[in-house]
């Protein structure tokens, strides 16, 4: 499974990229607003840090304006994935951009039917929102299982399942078990993957025993 980080904060992106765990970045209008940065220059900076796909979302909702915005975004770098909403106009733009060789991330997916449409439109990524479904008492992971199962039925679907709205490590692990291609997570959730009380306990014991030897490797 590939790990994307869902943030527009450069410090977090740099830190996670240095670990070798980071395969890409996703942003959205809310994350850009939170960063307080100017959109296009910020995406350019992120692209200079990360070699993998960097999702940059159009702000408009009508096709003509989205099309103009997409032209600006995809010229930032070859590995920009233009992010579009799962609407008729968004899928129309997805088809056009995909046919022209541009990666497209179709976002705000909440049903398997929507995911099927995105794949037929040539999306590079479909972003089903697990956490937001959980918030309304639907099992978001059931949606991931359905999409993976459908996509596996058709060899000509190249769309990768990008699990979004990830709230905890369990979302990541269960999605990986189902065969989802990518998980995009807040930095805090990626860092939670390191944590296990037995690791902490074992390391503390090793440190204590080493101190007893009175030795130094340096």
Helix (H, G, I), strand (E, B) or coil at 84: strand
Who contacts 12 (Cβ-Cβ below 8 Å, separation ≥6)? 5, 187
Per the annotation, the verdict on 120 as an active-site residue is no
- 208/131 Cα distance (integer angstroms): 41
Catalytic residue among 2, 68, 75, 83: 83
Rg for the chain, CA atoms, rounded: 20
Query: 66: closest CA among 87, 80, 45?
Result: 87
With beta carbons less than 8 A apart as the criterion, state whether 93 and 70 touch. yes
CA proximity to 143, closest of 170, 94, 184, 178: 178
List the structure tokens of 55: 């999702």
3-state secondary structure of 6: strand
Known catalytic residues? 83
């Amino acid at each position: 499974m590939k790990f994307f980080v869902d943030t527009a904060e450069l410090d977090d992106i740099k830190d996670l990229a240095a670990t070798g765990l980071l395969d890409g970045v996703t942003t959205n209008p809310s994350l850009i607003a939170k960063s307080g940065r100017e959109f296009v220059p910020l995406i350019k900076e992120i692209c200079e840090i990360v070699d993998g796909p960097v999702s940059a979302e159009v702000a408009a909702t009508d096709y003509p304006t989205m099309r103009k915005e997409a032209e600006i975004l995809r010229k930032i770098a070859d590995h920009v994935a233009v992010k579009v909403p799962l609407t008729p106009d968004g899928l129309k733009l997805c088809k056009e951009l995909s046919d022209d060789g541009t990666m497209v991330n179709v976002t705000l997916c909440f049903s398997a039917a929507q995911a099927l449409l995105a794949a037929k439109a040539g999306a590079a990524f479909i972003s089903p929102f697990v956490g937001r479904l959980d918030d309304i008492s639907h099992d978001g992971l059931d949606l991931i299982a359905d999409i993976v199962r459908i996509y596996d039925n058709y060899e000509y679907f190249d769309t990768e399942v990008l699990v979004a709205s990830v709230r905890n490590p369990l979302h990541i692990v269960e999605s990986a078990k189902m065969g989802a291609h990518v998980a995009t997570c807040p930095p805090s959730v990626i860092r939670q993957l390191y944590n296990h009380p037995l690791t902490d306990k074992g390391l503390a014991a090793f440190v204590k025993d080493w101190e007893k030897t009175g030795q130094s490797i340096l």
